[in-house]
Chains A and B, each alone.
Chain A
Amino acid sequence: MNNVNGSVVGSSSGSGDGSAPRRNSKRPKYSRFTQQELPACKPILTPKWVISVFTLIGVVFVPIGVASLMASNDVVEIVDRYDNVCVPLNMTNDKVAYIQNNETDKSCTRTLEVVPKHMSQPIYVYYQLDNFYQNHRRYVKSRNDAQLRKKSQENETSGCDPEKRTKDGAPIVPCGLIAWSLFNDTYIFAIGNKNLTVNKKGISWKSDRDHKFGKDVLPKNFQSGPLIGGGTLDATKPLSEQEDLIVWMRTAALPTFRKLYGKIEQDLNAGDVITVTLENNYNTYSFSGKKKLVLSTSSWLGGKNDFLGIAYLAVGGLCFFLAVAFTIVYLVKPRKLGDPSYLSWNRNPAGH
């Protein structure tokens, strides 16, 4: 019904009580901003630009790719899957029963493959789990950072469902599924008879130790429920020193993940044969996950992964190709820039 309104308004202004013309009032000041005339750079994608951009990308990417590949190649990695072999022969049909039985002996000795190349220290020891959904939402949510940080907040168990409190209502520290399912296989390495020391200090982020896990927070009521998850914690050590837990609490992004177990701080020579005595405690049989032990050196780029290098090389190569392709295009179908004959009215003189 605006129109009605409109005409009514009209009559009001017509009868003289409307607004008088604002003669030269509010003269807008000229400014390049309001007139949308700010100085601007208006780059144009000229053939020169196109070709040089692609060439430049190629020139930058290929060396990066080569460097990444070289770094990845320098890394020596020994991987050993042990979950399938570290089961007594009589239990292979019921691995779950084996692993869940607290009475059986879980120890197992493995001889790793021969060290292929000299491995300079530090050599990182990882355990790798497959098909373990540490990124499941129910799992990721099930923790309480406040509780981990300060003793005064140990009653803070919100979000820790379903591993919150014991039956009698006492808070579990650390609460939640993540801590409850702590990985608890252990490895002892030896070359011949000589044991290799595994340094388990400094495997977590420093900030985690200093600020996230309290120095005064001691484990409490941990693994005391009817369901026992993973490993137990030393109730006398504060959480900030329980680095296995700190590493474990950094939930992985993918169902296949490695986590640092420790560092071997001595060089290994090519041809060394390493034996590992391990405790196969952790249950991955229920969900048919794999367990692997990984020994790896690291380069400036990290661990062994050719993907980055290959991707860089591929993209770099593609850009070289594109640079060539565009050169050909510009040679075969040259178009003078700003040639008015390409304007639509010149291309299609009959009109639109």
Chain B
Amino acid sequence: MAPGRRRHERLRWSKLYTFSCLRPTVVTDDEQPHPLQGPGYSRLVHCNQPGLHQKKPLNYCTNHISTTKYNIITFLPKAIFEQFRRVANLYFLLTASLSLTPVTPFSAVSMIAPLAFVVGLSMAKEAMEDWNRFMQDMKVNSRKVSVHSGEGRFGYKHWQEIRVGDVVRVEKDQFFPADLLLLSSSYDDGICYVETMNLDGETNLKVKRSLEVTLPLDGDASFRHFTSTIRCEDPNPNLYTFVGNFEYEKKVYALDPGQILLRDSKLRNTTYVYGVAIFTGHDSKVMQNSTESPSKRSRIEKKMDNIIYVLFTFLILISLISSIGYGVITKFGMPQSWYLQPSETSYVYDASKPVLSGFYHLLTALILYGYLIPISLYVSIEVVKVLQATFINQDIHMRDEETGYSAQARTSNLNEELGQVDTILSDKTGTLTCNQMDFLRCSIAGVPYGVVSSEVEIAAVKQIASEVSGTIEQHSSTQDFWEDSGDGFGSSECELEVGIARMVGKPQRPTTKGFSFEDDRLIHGNWAKEPNAGTILVFLRVLALCHTAIAEANEKTGAFTYEAESPDEAAFLVAAREFGFEFCKRTQSSVFIRERYSASEDPVEREFKVLNILEFNSKRKRMSVILRDETGQIILLCKGADSIILDRLSKNGRIYEIETIKHLNEYGEAGLRTLALAYRVLDESEYSAWNTEFLKAKTTIGHHREAELERVSDTIERDLILVGATAVEDKLQKGVPQCIDKLAQAGLKIWVLTGDKMETAINIGFSCSLLRQGMKQICLSVDSSNILSLNKEKAAKESTLMQIIDAHEMVKLEKDPNAAFALIIDGKTLTYALEDDLKNQFLSLAVNCASVICCRVSPKQKALVVTRLVKEGTGKTTLAIGDGANDVGMIQEADIGVGISGVEGMQAVMASDFSISQFRFLERLLVVHGHWCYKRIAQMICYFFYKNIAFGLTIFYFEAYTGFSGQSVYADWYMLLFNVILTSLPVISLGVFEQDVSSEVCLQFPALYQQGPRNLFFDWYRIFGWMGNGLYSSIVIYFLSIQIFYSQAFRANGQTADMAAVGTSMFTCIVWTVNLQIVLTMSHFTWIQHLFVWGSIATWYLFLIAYGMCSPVISGNAYRILSEALGPAPMYWAATLLVTLSCNIPYLVYIAFQRALNPLDHHVIQEIKYYRKDVEDQHMWKRERSKARQRTKIGFTARVDAKIRQLKRKLQKKVSSLSIQTQS
């Protein structure tokens, strides 16, 4: 496992200032200025002459950025346009405007007010969001930076005033205001350190280095007469490439990304730099990397649109029937109806123009049957989602006690989408890991040191422990085996348990950042008492000397902090310091360390002369330093990937090889990053001979230089003596492996997208159980430098295709059902794989692999992987989770974006739909809240359509009985109240409080989550079922009521039922029916549901009484209807009882049958809980919990399973060999 280090191949030799000698000063063959012709390379920058950029075509955009959607003038028209792009709103607008005309069956206010409410609310929300964006832009635009204002003077200007060509001076810890060409820095050789966290999420520093020619420009005054020209590529989003030429003093120099300082990265450890702006504002690379934030709508909502279309078609159909009927009756029937005075025509009633009348009637009908598509649905859903979001925000189980951050639903319209996630795309750094390396263990001279268990081990033990107790019967043979084999699985378990006990026992141990090592044999100078003290000394010196970091003394405490290019190098230095080998200074040619051999002694400062540094690169997978110690001895210290080092050992250097390999494997299993350390003592003569060759290689001109250097380095890094190995834990965030395990059990696929190197990514894959031993890794990578063909692009693509096809074959040919594949692909290859002709093949390969890890992907690629591939290719719901600015694209692009709050700034959070403070909360967010919200919203929408169909169709039937004249049997007030008061609160309580199973059960049975991705509760079958139920109810309600109140007296006093009585009775039936229906739908009744459901019914009667007491001018025929007419009539109550129960019996039969014959998982679990079987039969409960998971190939559980299989196989072998022995 090689160290993941240098950011970019190009940066390899632009090294620490002490070693700048390696870079040739002459312009070599392969660094000829680029030809830079043709499209894409048209940008011309006149440095220090921003005035030249005032005119076209050089008038580039300013550094002002604007991310707002609207401005004051465009807000109203644009926002209104946006609002009415939604079909439903447009329909409501249509009906509302029709309600102003005389064709309306209802009053205009009752149509316009709800629409205005809904639209107004959304627009206010838009305005708020845009205002926030505007304020943020303002803040950024008005940041100040020092800009050359002529005559060698610098003055502060706002960021937005910077123009292309301006020379700016950026101070330490400031952000670069635009993409700059580095001219010079406070360091003599023009390097500077840059933190690119906002670009790629990495916190380690990168080195940028100016061209030699611009080094003299290191003071304000030197810019007085500075002019030059840059020709370069046009603005593009590639963060890691830059092609350009720098023309200065009549010479042309080639530029590469090593000289470019990108906007939004930060200057670190460098007092100041001078740079000239190349790309400003929206031209800068980070801005180019931005993707438009799409407005996200959940799958359910999109499907709801389809239901709306279905209903709308239905609405138009019945409106057409109604209007045709009306036309026909008006023409043929009504002229004879003298009581209507057909001779007195009006435009809605004209027997001589039935078509026109029919048309007007169509409009009336559209409004009348508008109850099929209720505007209240949208209002209710909004309300429910906001309340659901509040519950998510309030959940104390998703609150990080350390930071005080709670989970936050930033947009409420995706709650139910959380319950349907299929693929999770995760960032690595900061999301899965803390990006903090902890030195955990080491093996020196074949002796393992360090007792602290890695998180992976702890979690694994816990998992295994619960697994074992849960499956004793099932795996009795395995269990026996474990007990038999003393040094097998069981013992390591014991060790781990000891480790856990230790951790638990001393929870408050003083921690040093990057150092969790614990072993009394080594610390406090005790190592000197160890038998192999000499080897340990070498080991610690390798740690302290073999690196490229620089030390910074804290002025107050005198303690050293280390700025290394990779966090694990820093961890080594911290470890060395803790062991008593403190690296304190680096000069041009030497490294100084303070060595302390025992706790009582004073440290001795030693100087090691650095003769050569053989850098790390991904091909070599090792680095070495050649030093001359104080005694004049020349030693080579080397650290590198174990496989590489082990190949290079001398014969007598292999004393500890076997033990070390064993330890390395153990560390690897434990999810740690390992490196092997070795050294070699060189003869003076041998060294000088080699050094001459090395110098020669260094001065080689042309593209052979690197190969030559590599070859020469290789010759000296041989015959090494193995010292030991280190194991560093890339500290995972708390609970990550468990969370991944649970998510995997819930059937979710997890892809990791990281900007890191492949090796690092694989390590993390191991530590969070996305990868495990025995998994077949498919690595797709194209090394374009190896391709000599003229058409590199094409060749690379072909190679990618070949690799994909090969991998496909491999997956297909695999017979073992337990075999798992892991796909690991790097960013460059991904570019090819994402091209249109390859992406489908790539996708199908990726889908077949248990885990997918994409390394070295750019932010834009992250977004593209998400969109182009997973979202569109599989058609499944994707969730992206990340914490840095580099994840913003993917967070926005995925169906759901989750931001990790509180670690790396807020940019990911700002772009996200949900924010949580730790990855582990994702489990609860999805498995509990997602599951609940999905079911709630799905049931709520279905029920909503049901109740409006049941209600709306009765209006239609009645209308047919009135000669299609558009008369409603209900009073206007009933209809208005139906959706607003009488049925709204129960359905909202369904949407907010319903729980099929409690949150603990959700977590214990992750398989329940699959009900969401499989969409069991919102498929067309179910939707149409509900609609059918609504249709049935409407028929029963209408025809039973009509028959009961037909024409005879409906009470003892002989009165017959008029329209008001029939209508009110029918409406009573509806209120009862739909409220009883929701009772049957709900499975969880708190006092709130009871209050709302029964309260709604009571409200109806109260309303009737109150309405009946209003002046008859308002109530019309409903005056005293309940108290005088209906209340005393037994028939009214008898009708209510009959109709209500008749409507609900079929649903009752359906759910009873379903539960009896084909119960869903949550039904069974409800029953177990109801009968407290989980308490009585804990064993069964535990067993079911362990089985309640999707077949998964990733996560701990899968690891444990694989281990069990492996052990079983071993056992079988043993048994068979035994039997053979006994036979013979």
Contact = CB atoms under 8 A, between A and B. Distances in A.
Contacts, number: 410
A80 interface: no
B1136 to A, nearest CB: 12
B1224 interface: no
A315 interface: yes
A82 to B, nearest CB: 17
Given A40-B1084, A145-B1112, A254-B1047, A139 B175 contact: no
Contact of B337 (A24, A133, A250, A338): A133
B1050 interface: yes
Contact of A128 (B405, B1047, B1059, B1160): B1047
A14 to B, nearest CB: 5
A238 B932 CA distance: 65
Interface string B382-401: 00000000110011110101
Contact of A252 (B136, B198, B889, B1058): B1058
Contacts of B105: 137
Closest 9 CB pairs of A and B: A303-B1048, A2-B293, A10-B907, A3-B290, A162-B344, A5-B67, A338-B1167, A181-B339, A303-B1049
B1087 to A, nearest CB: 7
A111 B421 CA distance: 80
A233 B1059 CA distance: 24
Interface string A131-171: 01101111110000110010000000000011100000000
A136 B1138 contact: no
B1113 interface: yes
Interface string B1117-1132: 1011000110001110
A224 B889 CA distance: 80
A19 B136 CA distance: 13
Given A139-B339, A345-B1007, A3 B289 contact: yes
Contacts of B1052: 298-302
Nearest to B1160: A344
A104 interface: no
Contact of B962 (A19, A133, A163): A133
B969 interface: yes
Nearest to A227: B341
Nearest to B1108: A207
B908 A343 contact: no
13 contacts: A2-B910, A8-B137, A10-B884, A10-B910, A14-B175, A18-B906, A26-B406, A162-B346, A250-B1058, A301-B1051, A339-B1164, A345-B1187, A346-B1187
A146 B1113 contact: yes
Contacts of B198: 7, 10-11, 14
A135 B967 contact: yes
Given A161-B346, A162-B344, A253-B1045, A21 B902 contact: yes
Given A252-B1056, A345-B1187, A6 B907 contact: yes
Contacts of A252: 1056, 1058-1059
Interface in A181-198: 181
B966 interface: yes
Interface residues of B, number: 154
Which of A6, A50, A319, A343 has the most C-beta atoms of chain B within 10 angstroms of its own C-beta? A6
Contact of B290 (A1, A208, A230): A1
Interface stretch (B702-710, B799-807, B1019-1027, B1151-1159): B1151-1159
Contacts of B337: 133, 136, 286-287
B627 interface: no
A3 B341 contact: no
Interface in A20-64: 21-28, 30, 34-47, 50, 53, 57, 61, 64
Given A133-B962, A302-B1052, A286 B336 contact: yes
B1161 interface: yes
A287 B404 contact: no
B1040 interface: yes
Interface string A228-266: 011000000000000000000011111111111001000
A21 B405 contact: yes
Contacts of B266: 11, 14-15
A8 B999 CA distance: 38
A305 interface: yes
Contact of B892 (A2, A211, A288): A2
B311 to A, nearest CB: 24
B939 to A, nearest CB: 15
B907 A337 contact: no
Given A10-B264, A12-B139, A38-B1088, A44 B287 contact: no
Interface size range of chain A in the complex: 35 or more
Contact of A311 (B293, B969, B1056, B1138): B1138
Given A137-B967, A138-B965, A254 B1119 contact: no
A312 interface: yes
Interface string B1044-1081: 11111111111111111111000000000000000000
Contact of A57 (B1007, B1131, B1141): B1141
B904 to A, nearest CB: 8
Contacts of A115: none
Nearest to B404: A24
Contacts of A137: 105, 962, 965-967
B291 interface: yes
B338 A229 contact: yes
A140 B967 contact: yes
B1119 A212 contact: yes
B888 A7 contact: yes
B116 interface: no
B1063 A253 contact: yes
Interface in A302-324: 302-305, 307-308, 311-312, 315, 318-319, 322
A47 to B, nearest CB: 7
Given A1-B292, A298-B1052, A352-B747, 15 more contacts: A2-B133, A2-B892, A13-B906, A21-B404, A28-B394, A28-B399, A35-B394, A136-B965, A163-B341, A207-B1120, A211-B1119, A254-B1047, A305-B1044, A329-B1157, A337-B1171
Contacts of A333: 1156-1157
B72 interface: no
Contact of B1159 (A6, A180, A257, A342): A342
A69 B85 CA distance: 57
Contacts of B395: 34-35
Given A22-B405, A42-B1170, A287 B140 contact: no
Interface in B1141-1198: 1141-1142, 1145, 1148-1149, 1151-1153, 1155-1157, 1159-1161, 1164-1171, 1173, 1180, 1183-1184, 1187-1191
A338 B1164 contact: yes
B1152 A298 contact: no
Contacts of A288: 336
Contacts of A312: 1134, 1138
Contact of B1130 (A25, A124, A301): A301
B631 interface: no
A284 B643 CA distance: 106
A297 B1137 CA distance: 25
A296 B1049 contact: yes
Contact of B1055 (A42, A57, A205): A205
A42 B1166 contact: yes
Given A2-B67, A253-B1059, A340-B1180, A9 B906 contact: yes
Contacts of B397: 35
B408 to A, nearest CB: 12
Given A7-B885, A319-B1145, A308 B1044 contact: yes
A284 to B, nearest CB: 10
A77 B1183 CA distance: 72
B1145 A40 contact: no
B1045 A14 contact: no
A8 B1156 contact: no
A24 B917 CA distance: 13
Contacts of A13: 905-907
